[in-house]
Structure formats: structure tokens, C-alpha cells
Structure 1
Amino acid sequence: MYAKMLSASVVGIEGRLIEVEVNISSGLPQVSVVGLPDPAVRESVERVRSAIQNSGMTFPLDRITVNLAPADVRKEGSAYDLAIAAGILLASGQLAAEKIEGALLIGELSLSGEIRPVPGVLPMAERARSEGLRRVIVPEASVGEAQLIEGIEVFGVRGLGEWAGGGTTRFGRPPGRGAAPSSGDAISDPADDADLSDVIGQAHGKRALLIAAAGKHNILFVGPPGTGKTMLCRRLPTLLPPLDDEEALAVTKIYSVCGKLGGRRHGLIRRRPFRSPHHTISIAGLIGGGPSPKPGEVTLAHHGVLFLDELPEFPRGALEALRQPLEDFRVTIGRARGVTQFPAHFLLAVSMNP
């Protein structure tokens, strides 16, 4: 028996659809996963096997082949678990086809059959809508994130057995224009709630911040320790206007890909990000990189403020690497498998001692 599911991955900060094909044929019991899977994807076989058995269903004792297409793109992470399990259940006649018709399946399985959240649900759901899919099936904890995309039905799933047996919770908003309502919370340091009204004196420093915020100018504070340089810079984001719909969606997608949204989010990030990395940060941590490139601090500060405290303490290579993002408002990282671009339009604030 043959079955085909749709799942998704993330490239840069954009979603990409992945076809999960499952074929069950007679032969010695064996499960093969092909299509350039990484170790996390190969290990999904054992997670899926235990999840199906512990959910009260039968894992077929036949030869099972799972193909992740396109086959020339490396597959990473655990977001394919739910699609692989659904494909096996559908091909073995234990799942109704209506359950997954026109749907994108995203989720990691535990050994007990619980469906766990994965990073990047927001760009995956956005890609599903752009490809004409009508439904997205996600872990219940990721429903608020997927709901940020209009015009698509969102189904939250708590466990594999409950879902296969008919238990899903439907969420979603009707098709329309505009962004989801803001939740009012922000991904930032708690100290960012303070603003210039807390600062007594510092007239020159305040005016410098106002000019920098009004014109999106980068700013450098030089002064002896304890004169308030860091305190002033931490209040810079409160002088900037809230993110508009397009900016808020871009920033929320970045934090979704990095797994930094946390909790059950029900709105876009509206407050400007404020990132303050330690001076021991590596070039890859600041700019982004790795074997499969991931966003760095300059991307996490997109449409916000990147603050470098004690500027001369940062490695020279890391500071030199800031040239391209400051000029082009993006980071381009080339690897043997391809080139990845990350947005990096930020206001740079730095401080240093004389």
C-alpha cells in the first residue's frame, strides 16, 4: 500500500513543503528512510514505532519505505514525525484519508504518542497557504503560532491515538486581510520596559538617543564606567514605533524558526527586538552560520536594536563581519549545499570606555 503526506521544513526563515511518501510491501520487517535524512530524521523510526504501539494501534510487520522528497534536499529535525506516522497508518488502513486530505502535518512524536511542538511552525504554515493548502495540523501547543496566518484552518492535536481516533480541536480565523491581533507581549529583556522617563539628567545622552531613533542612525556612547551608557542604550527601543504588520510578521517568523517564541502565543511580536550579546560571542553566533545556517544575533535584532556593550572587547573578526549587514541589511551565508539569506535591518548601538 502507498500513501503520501505533506510536511514542511525551514530554509533560512522561509518554509518549504516536503512530500512524505510511505510504501508498505511484503517482506522482512524493516523500515528504510531515504531522501537525505539527518540523524534526527532517521531516529524518527523508533519514535514513530513506539508512538503507534502506545496509542493502541498496530505497527505493520512488513517492509516499510519512507521517502522524503525532494530527495536532493537534506532533511533535518523532528517535524516530520507526525507525517511519517500518518503515512504508515493510512497505508496500513488504520487512518481515514479524510483526516489528512489537503492538510500539512507538523509535529514531533514522543514514545507515548504525545505530539510535541517544533520550531518554525509559522513560516511552514505561511508556505502551506501560499501553496493552496486548506488545513494545517499542528501540536496543540503550536496552535496560537499557526493561527497567525490567515485564510487557513488550524487543527490542534494533543496525541496520536486521540487524533487517529477522531479527536482534534479545530482552530483558525476566516480568510481576510491584515495581521493577527497583537498579544502585547514581546521577546525582549524585562529591563526594556523602562524608558527615558526613569532617567534624571543626562540631557545630552537623551537627545542623542532621540536623534538616533528618529533617523535610524547608529550610535556610539563613549565614557567612563558607571556614567549610564548601558542604561541609556537599553531604553532606545522604547523610542521606536511599534512594528507594523509586515515587520511584525517578519520578526515573529525569525523567532519562530529559532524556537524562541515560547508558550502559547496568540499574536505577532509588536515591540522592537533588543539584543545584547556578550563580547565572547563567536562570528557564527553574531552573524549566523553553522553546517546548516541558522540566524545569528544580527537577524534576531531585525527591525530592532543590536547593542554591543564594551565594543573593543569583541573579536575583530566579529566586528569586521558586521560590515555587510550594516550596508545591505541582510546576511548572505554560502555553503556547499547552497546560499542562505537572512534579513538583518537593525539599529546598531555600542558603548565603550575611553
Structure 2
Amino acid sequence: MSLTDSHQFANENRISAGRQLLQRLHLDFPLLLGLLILAIIGGFVLYSASDRDADLLVRHALRFLVGFILMVALAQLRPETIRVWSPWLFGMGLILLLAVLLVGQAGGGAQRWLNFGLFRFQPSEIMKIAVPMMIAWYLCKTAIPPSPGRLLISILLLVVPTLLIARQPDLGTALLIACAGFFVLFLAGLGWKLIIGALLVLIASTPLIWNYLLHDYQQQRVLTFINPEIEPLGSGYHIIQSTIAIGSGGIYGKGWLNGTQAHLDFLPERSTDFIFAVFGEEFGLLGALVLLLLYGILIARGMLIAARAQNTYSRLLAGSLILTFFIYVLVNIGMVSGLLPVVGVPLPLISYGGTSIVTLLAGFGILMSIQTHRRLIST
């Protein structure tokens, strides 16, 4: 055997060993690789957006590590085990949401957290996974599309936690949970007539929603979205500065750590909800396209996993989780670009955050479980 052949043989052995390790850990390589790349990009952008705050970056990395451990742990569970635990997780989430309304900790004009001493916890994050799990669990018991009676109960399972979270108020999380539950219903065969009818009812009830459900600051966000120049130094300041930052990046960007809107303190919330504006300013249009491509690859892989799932529960849950991830990306980039009203939705795996990162990675752990255990069954 020549020296070249021996090197090639050694490389093939290393690749084979790596694949076997991922299979033993029930980790899907395309998803894992995409998540790690996004995590690295997020670290660089967050370091710049936080004015080189190493402590904040360490805290972010620790939270990502917790989410990664949870992702690996969930990937070990068989989809059947996750299905059995669905109603229990949903019930626990509802109890915690009620606890938030009664004894929750307030901050920033909202009552969203439970204080456990060593840490604060936002129970609404659980429902991003628990709601689609519960509806998928309920609908997989019979043939789909669901009957009118089962559809009505599914809608109730969706509406109750959504209203409890909107009551906190947390419109962004309520929107994501409503989308997660809706995607399960849509994938279960919800007819277009019902969807169009629901949209017409929603449009007709807009005056009631505006006057009785939306808070003053939420109404102001809608008005600001329509015309940010109404209060350029008030409610319109976020959108104006973020669009300036994105536009000033041009095609190639100003370079890492060279953004002016963020580092001169023009851009608010630059480490959290508006971090995409920092990214757009420093890496430009080309960087934004690469980031969108990475998100697109993850979403495409998730949809492929959903399509290949071996039972109704897995298909509905996997499809809902990855489509909700798509809504994360769409809403955040849309609001930072001025195309959607501002709501509290972070940029997935890039924005600084705690429970949102853990929840997202938990969802990908479930996707990996569905994919890798499908392989085991098929073989």
C-alpha cells in the first residue's frame, strides 16, 4: 500500500468512526453542523454588539451549552417516549403559566417570570414545544384530517395557553405559540376553507382586538410600523436606527467590530432583538445572504425529517417545530428591517438570551430523535 493510500484509508476510518459516534449519540450531522456554525457566528456578532463584553459572551456560551446538553439528552429518547410525555408537559406548562399570573415576577412592564432564587424562569418558553406536542398527541389518535369535534378541542388546546401568555403581556411569544399550534393543524389537513374563513373572522374582529385586547404600547408599535416618522425620537427610534444600520452596511459591510450605529449607541437592544441590524451593518448584504442560506439549510433539513417520519405524531411535531423556527427567522428579520411590527422575537441562535436558546435547541433535539430513531427502525 502506498503512502497516499494509507492516508486515504486513515481518513476514511476517522470519518467512519465519527459517523458511528454520531449514530450512537443519535445526532443528525447536517442539523448539528448547521447549529454549530450558527452558534459560532452568533458568538462573533454578539461580541461586537455588546462592545466586546467578554462576560456577556461567556454567559451566552454557558446557556448555549445547557441547551446543547438538553438537545443531546432529548435526542436519546425515542419518539414514542416523547409522545407519552406530551400531555404531562402540557399540563405542567399550564400550571406554571397560571403561577406566573398569580405570583410571577414583573419586569419591564410585563409579568412573565418565576423566580426560583438562583435563577429566573420564563414558563411561556415551555409552551413553544408543549403546545405542538400536545396537539400532535391528540390528533394522532385518529385518522386525519380531524373531525370537527376533534378540531374544536385542538383549537381550545391552542387558544388557552396563547391567551394566558398574551395576558402577561408577551405578544411575541404568544404569536410563536399560536403559529406552532396552527402548523400542527395545517399539517393534519386543515382545509383551506376553514383557514380563509378564520382569516375573514380575524379581519372583521380587528376593531375589537385593537380596542380591547391590545395594550397602548402594542397599538403604538403598529402605528410606528405604518409610519416610523411619527415619533422619530420615541417609538419609531428602534426601526429608524435599525434600517439605517442595515442600509449603511452596503454589499460587503463595514467589517467585524467596525459598525458605527451599534458602537456609537445609536442602536437600542443591539444584543438581543435587533442584533440582525448589527450583523447587516458589519457584514453587509452578502453576509446577510449567507446567514439566510444557513437558516434555509436547517429549515430544509427539518422539513425533510418531517416528511420521512414514520408515524403521524412524529410528522406533525417535526413539521410544526421546524416551521415555527422559520417564523422566528421571518418575524425577527422582518421587524428589524421595518417590514413587520416590532414584537419580542429574538434572532434564533444569534441573539443573546437564556430560555429561548434552550427551547430552540430542545426542539432540534426532538427533530434529531425523530430522524435517528427512524434510521434505527428502518435498519
- Structure with greater contact order relative to length (CA < 8 Å, sep ≥ 6): 2
TM-score when normalising by structure 1: 0.26
> Whose strand proportion is higher, 1 or 2?
1
- Give the number of the structure whose alpha-carbon radius of gyration is greater: 1
